[in-house]
Amino acid sequence: MRELFNSIAERYDLTNRLISLGLDKLWRRKACEEVLKFVEGNNLKILDVACGTGDMMLCMKKRLEKRNLSAEFYGLDCSEEMLKLARRKVPFAKLTVGTAEEMPYPDESFDVVSVAFGLRNFSNREKAIGEIGRVLKPGGKLVVLEFSRSNSFLGRLAWIYTKSVVPLIGALITGNRKAYEHLVSSISSFPSPEKLAEEFEGEGFKVMSLRWLLPRIAFILVLERL
């Protein structure tokens, strides 16, 4: 994964905007708004896992500022090249190279953890879920923004687009078709939102909300650490 994301880092944001038709920014905003419905207090500590170039942290900061709230932001990603870009975009965040399976943070450190479009890429999802639970405070909130397949009419159309068009656009912009073929295969093999929620419940989380996003290729899952 490190080599794959290092290879596409420079054009990662542009490619995301184009292949999602700009919807990725809307999806992140809705994910931030959804988790903040369940968050109280100020001076929060927030960790974005698989943070990439920092879009999720930037979105979360803007949403908090609208509520006159502040937070200390941390970002974790396996790709050094992604973090180089993130350091320019989110200079307020404390960024670290690392993996979700072995996080370099003390137990019960964070009020909120976010994972946007990263869960599919973890080499050991069970271990990563355990680590997220370890670094979250009791009562802390986790928001997952991820892709999956829906059997609805819109979901089937979105999947046809994803499978046939996304690798072509990704190849044209980044020159790395394999990276976007991986995106398609990882979505195809990823569990449904309901199955994923069950995995988290088995690791000591409670589901707060679960919703599909139009055109039903992405979803938001908000959980609380018990």
The pLDDT tens digits for 170-190 are 999 999 999 899 999 999 999
CA neighbor of 1 nearest in space, from 95, 101, 91, 68: 101
Residues 6 or more apart from 159 whose CB is under 8 A from it?
A: 149, 150, 187, 217
In this prediction, residues 71-88 reach a mean pLDDT of 97
136, pLDDT greater than 90: yes
In this prediction, residues 149-170 reach a mean pLDDT of 95
Q: What is the pLDDT of residue 216?
A: 95
1, pLDDT greater than 90: no
Provide the mean pLDDT of the chain.
96
Q: What is the pLDDT of residue 116?
A: 98
- DSSP one-letter code for 191: P
Q: Supply the pTM of this predicted model.
A: 0.96
Q: What length does the chain have?
A: 226
Q: What is the pLDDT of residue 18?
A: 94
pLDDT in tens, 121-132: 999 999 999 999
Give the percent of the chain with pLDDT over 90: 96
In this prediction, residues 134-163 reach a mean pLDDT of 97
Q: How confident is the model at residue 72 (pLDDT cuts 50, 70, 90)?
A: very high
Q: Which residues of 37-68 are buried (b: 16+ CB within 10 A; e: fewer)?
A: eebeeeebbbbbbbbbbbbbbbbbbebbeeee
Give the percent of the chain with pLDDT over 70: 100
Q: How confident is the model at residue 151 (pLDDT cuts 50, 70, 90)?
A: very high
CA neighbor of 1 nearest in space, from 118, 104, 105, 87: 118
Q: If DSSP codes are grouped into helix, strand and coil, which group holds residue 167?
A: helix
